[in-house]
Structure 1
Amino acid sequence: MNSDREAIRKVFEQTYPDNVRSRDLESYGQMYTENALWMAPNVIDRCGIPDIIEGFAETIATQDIDPTFTAEEIEVMGTFGYVLGISEATIYPHDGSATRQAKFRALWLMKKEGEQWLIDRQIWNNKPV
């Protein structure tokens, strides 16, 4: 089970931020289950990989994001798990306006499919910087 926790931590702290930085839509989508639910602040919820990719593409259309994710709590229950953590990101608008900082609290429900942990439910909200 410890290896499952570490696999979830890797998705949260390494794979996800790497995919956000790279802006690679295909790799971003591969982190999710087929029927995943993506609940970002201030936008409509997205369901399923194509819809999530569309939401992510809209998010990065006018800005680059450099996030750092820190898992604070990870639990595994069979083929399900969750991670609770913090994201601190630097936002670089494409229009040349000032760079800004953002902080989010994130909760993800993870699902193990085969040997891979995927994001099944993702919710995050803004926190004061």
Structure 2
Amino acid sequence: MEYKELIKIAKLAQEKAYVPYSNFPVGAALLTKTGKVYTGCNIECASYGGTNCAERTAIFKAVSEGEREIEAIAVVGDPNQYTFPCGICRQVIVEYGKKIKLIIGKTEDDYQVFTIEDLLPHSFTPEDLEKAKGSCCNDL
């Protein structure tokens, strides 16, 4: 799938955002390695901690349907600036691989492409937990 098409799908998801507090709608479109696309929008809550970002909404939808291999995620927000995933979203994205492509778009014709590793270098991943088994904190 072309990046422009993924951005277009993310923009459609953005229209469904529930953002009565920030008034900052964000949309995401996630492409799996099987070719399926899952969308997400940000969903706010009066107790701000209950808010969920567009990227995580799309990931959770994909994972809840059995998908674990993510190829790319397009993210759109303000058409006048690039809207990057927050720190929590970056950590959730890297859970599924360091080479996932992030297409950060202002419009379908104005976007940048990164890997999650570009945006979250030196990340803590499931591999780190595996390496630490038997060596971390066992003497406490």
Report the TM-score when normalising by structure 2.
0.23
Report the TM-score when normalising by structure 1.
0.24
Q: Flag the structure with higher strand content.
A: 1
